[in-house]
Amino acid sequence: MNPGNLLKVAINALKRNKMRSFLTMLGIIIGVASVITMLAIGQGSKKSIQDQIASMGSNMLFVMPGNMRMGGVQQGSSSSQRLTVADIKAIKTECDAIVAVSPEVRSSGQAVSGSSNWPTTIYGGSEQYLDIRSWTVVSGRNFTDTEAEGSAKVCLVGRTVADELFGEGIDPTGETIRFKNIPFKIIGVLSEKGQNSFGQDQDDVIIAPYTTVQKRILAQTYIQSIQMSARSAEESALAESQVEEVLRRTHKLREEENNDFEIRSQEELATTMTSVTEILTILLGAIAGISLLVGGIGIMNIMYVSVTERTREIGLRMSVGGRSVDILLQFLIESILLSVFGGLIGIMIGFGASSVVEALTSWPISVMWGSVILAFAVCTVIGVFFGWYPARRAAELDPIEALRFE
């Protein structure tokens, strides 16, 4: 039989049992749709985490004080006072993979302006702090190096702080606020960042020169962490080893001593965060894959039923000249049609479901073309694989037995 006729015969056979064909396809439809949707969701959440981490800063590295021993007693990392301005100077001069470096000191407290007040956190940094943390100033200006080093009582406020103290959308540049009774002149407003992946409002900040926060608010000489930018994402590992070398020297650590600081990079953070979603994506994809497999078994099952039911038809086709290969192809094409049509509908539903999830979660969900092609290829393979055995059984029937079958 020629291919056109084979196709026509297969389509007619499927049309004769519309409900059954549809239900058989449903297994594949659900399988394919869930594979595509799950992978799209996984990809979307990964993308969203990556975006959020990128918004934290540019090729950022940060040094936090680590655990250390004092006379045999392990001290908590927060009690460490090992990071100093001297460390920063050393990093600035010696690490060529680092393009920007800033100390960070922070304090929580109540910001007051007139009759309004708002609990927030003040961060102290150098002039480069904004670049490292990917902040931009939307109104006003950044503080200068002189101001940063000279304990100037100036600050930049995040959008949330501005809204809470001065009212929605008002530009408070030039106003004065008080933080722990220290008056700060607002010299600029920061661009909006929104929530980070932990649900923390990144706009609820005040940024001031670190010297001001150190001396006027905290009254301390050490710094809480060092924030840096590597020249590029690729050089982040190099920068990390350079910083480690410098800090070990400035901290006068002996060969056998552990670091009394910890270096983390944005890269590492991104990897850690996305590895969770990657595992989740694989898990979801695997479950969806299993449902696709179950759909395939559904096809095999129905094809067996169909072969048994149509034994006499097979006998007749053989008696009028149908060869085994004609019968084989006829049933194989039927199962491929079921799986491929199911796959196509599943792909469409997968796209639909992905955009519904996108609308509900506002994640940047994108259906990967790779997963569409994969799903389609898997469908065809399923059609051939699960159709093969029933079709073989049909093709191997003895025409005499088949014609006599009741």
Partner 1 sequence: MKTIIDIATLKKDYHVGEVTVHALRGVDLKINEGEFVAIMGASGSGKSTMLNIIGCLDRPTDGTYLLDSVNVAGMSKNERAAIRNLKIGFVFQSYNLLSRTSALENVELPLMYNRLITTKERRERAVAALEAVGLADRMDHMPNQLSGGQQQRVAIARSLVNDPVVILADEATGNLDTRTSYEIMSLFQELNSKGKTIVFVTHEPDIARCMTRSVVFRDGHIIREEDVKSRLNAAEMLRALPVEQD
- Chain positions contacting partner 1, by CB under 8 A: 1-2, 5, 9, 12, 16, 312-313, 315-326, 399-400, 403
When the beta carbons of 287 and 325 are compared against partner 1, the nearer one is 325
When the beta carbons of 65 and 315 are compared against partner 1, the nearer one is 315
Q: How far apart are CA 196 and CA 193, in angstroms?
A: 8
339 conformational bin, left if phi > 0, alpha if psi -120 to 50, beta if neither: alpha
Tally of CB atoms within 10 A around 245: 12
Main-chain dihedrals φ then ψ at residue 86, nearest 5 degrees: -65, -40
When the beta carbons of 109 and 399 are compared against partner 1, the nearer one is 399
**Side chain identity, residue 180:** K
Q: How far apart are CA 154 and CA 334, in angstroms?
A: 76
Asked if 101 contacts 91 with a C-beta cutoff of 8 angstroms, the reply is yes
Asked if 363 contacts 45 with a C-beta cutoff of 8 angstroms, the reply is yes
Could you tell me the smallest distance in angstroms from the CB atom of residue 382 to partner 1? 27
When the beta carbons of 188 and 322 are compared against partner 1, the nearer one is 322
**Cβ neighbours for 406, distance < 8 A, ≥ 6 positions apart:** none
352, containing H or E segment = helix 324-361
CA angle, 292 as apex, 286 and 295 as ends, to 5°? Answer: 150
When the beta carbons of 228 and 314 are compared against partner 1, the nearer one is 314
- 226 strand-pairing partners: 63, 103
When the beta carbons of 6 and 349 are compared against partner 1, the nearer one is 6
Could you tell me the smallest distance in angstroms from the CB atom of residue 388 to partner 1? 19
Asked if 314 contacts 307 with a C-beta cutoff of 8 angstroms, the reply is yes
**Side chain identity, residue 307:** V
Could you tell me the smallest distance in angstroms from the CB atom of residue 12 to partner 1? 7
When the beta carbons of 76 and 321 are compared against partner 1, the nearer one is 321
Exposure of 221 by Cβ count < 10 A (0-12 exposed, 13-18 middle, 19+ buried)?
A: exposed
Could you tell me the smallest distance in angstroms from the CB atom of residue 316 to partner 1? 5
Asked if 221 contacts 82 with a C-beta cutoff of 8 angstroms, the reply is no
Place of tokens 């710094």: 223
Cα separation values, 44 from 96, 220, 340, 364, 367, Å:
36, 44, 27, 5, 9
When the beta carbons of 18 and 254 are compared against partner 1, the nearer one is 18
CA-based end-to-end distance of the chain: 27
When the beta carbons of 219 and 320 are compared against partner 1, the nearer one is 320
Q: How far apart are CA 265 and CA 4, in angstroms?
A: 61
Could you tell me the smallest distance in angstroms from the CB atom of residue 307 to partner 1? 15
When the beta carbons of 64 and 403 are compared against partner 1, the nearer one is 403
Place of tokens 């096809």: 299
Could you tell me the smallest distance in angstroms from the CB atom of residue 384 to partner 1? 22
